[in-house]
Amino acid sequence: MPPKQPDQTSLSDLPHPLAAHFPVAEAMAALLHPHAEVVIHDIAMDRIVRIWNAFSKRKPGSPSYLGHDPNLLAEKDTYGPYEKANPDGSRVKSVSAVLRDAKGRRAGFLCINLDVSKFDAAISLLTAFTASLTTRPEPLFHHDWRERINLAIRDFLTEDGKALSALDRRDRIALLARLDSQGLFQTRNAVPFVAQVLDVSRATVYGLLTEARRAAPSSTSKSKRAKP
């Protein structure tokens, strides 16, 4: 569906000083339709010159409420993203940029108002599906060594802020040291399982585990040899 076209009633019969910016604003409105309202404000007239995807119900000629101040926000040319709100209280994420006329004078503002309410709703929906609503019943997993390894790996990755595929050799040694300190290699077939998770050979896991134990003898001296 194409973006809503602006009201073509002009504020003047003469070309507006900001007319050169209209095609760019219209292109952005088309790209972000229907989630972004794109507005061009005339600073001197304190009026909206053009508006696309007008979910705020404003139209060309509506007041801008900028105060007729040509030096408004003169410190820089772009502002945001900053937060606004729709009348129903839903969030709007906005950016504003100074527009200049043919002589380089500050003449207006381009404002892009992104309605993020649908994104917020999607995040809430996904969070509701993925959140753990109750405490995990530990007795069900007391003997499930695979689940214990999975949880230990998840905790390690969360603390380190990395994905499993991004772990380098040093990270893998630290991960195996963590698993070893929790006695997770005392279970038969733990090494093959970890090798499968890391997508490496069993020999590689044994080699990394040997390095982990060599680097921390005090914490591993009491550990038994990993079972094949």
**Residues in CB range of 130: below 8 A, 6 or more apart:** none
Asked which of 120, 154, 185 is the last residue of a domain, the reply is: 120
Same-domain check for residues 105 and 79: yes
Q: What is the pLDDT of residue 146?
A: 92
Q: Which residue has the higher pLDDT, 34 or 132?
A: 34
Q: Is the pLDDT of residue 47 over 80?
A: yes
Q: What is the pLDDT of residue 218?
A: 55
Confidence label for 132 from pLDDT (cuts 50, 70 and 90): confident
H helices then E strands: how many in the chain?
A: 7, 5
Beta strands in 43-90 (DSSP E): 47-52, 78-85
Give the sign of the dihedral formed by CA 193, CA 199, CA 202, CA 208.
negative
Average pLDDT over residues 147-171: 92
Q: Is the pLDDT of residue 222 over 50?
A: no
Same-domain check for residues 26 and 103: yes
Same-domain check for residues 113 and 171: no
Average pLDDT over residues 46-68: 92
In CATH, what number is assigned to the domain containing residue 54? Answer: 3.30.450.20
Q: Which residue has the higher pLDDT, 124 or 133?
A: 124
Asked which of 89, 120, 151 is the last residue of a domain, the reply is: 120
Same-domain check for residues 63 and 113: yes
Q: Is 92 within a domain?
A: yes
Confidence label for 219 from pLDDT (cuts 50, 70 and 90): very low
Tokens representing 14 are 């003469």
Q: What is the pLDDT of residue 14?
A: 55
Q: What is the pLDDT of residue 11?
A: 41
Same-domain check for residues 30 and 116: yes
Q: What is the pLDDT of residue 9?
A: 42
Q: What is the mean pLDDT of the chain?
A: 86
For 66-103, how does the pLDDT look when each residue is reduced to its tens digit (9 = 90+)?
Answer: 887 767 767 788 998 999 988 778 899 999 999 998 88
Q: What phi-psi label fits residue 73: left (phi over 0), alpha (psi between -120 and 50 degrees) or beta?
A: left
The total number of structural domains that make up the chain:
2
**Residues in CB range of 140: below 8 A, 6 or more apart:** none
Average pLDDT over residues 184-195: 92
For 14-27, how does the pLDDT look when each residue is reduced to its tens digit (9 = 90+)?
Answer: 578 899 999 999 99
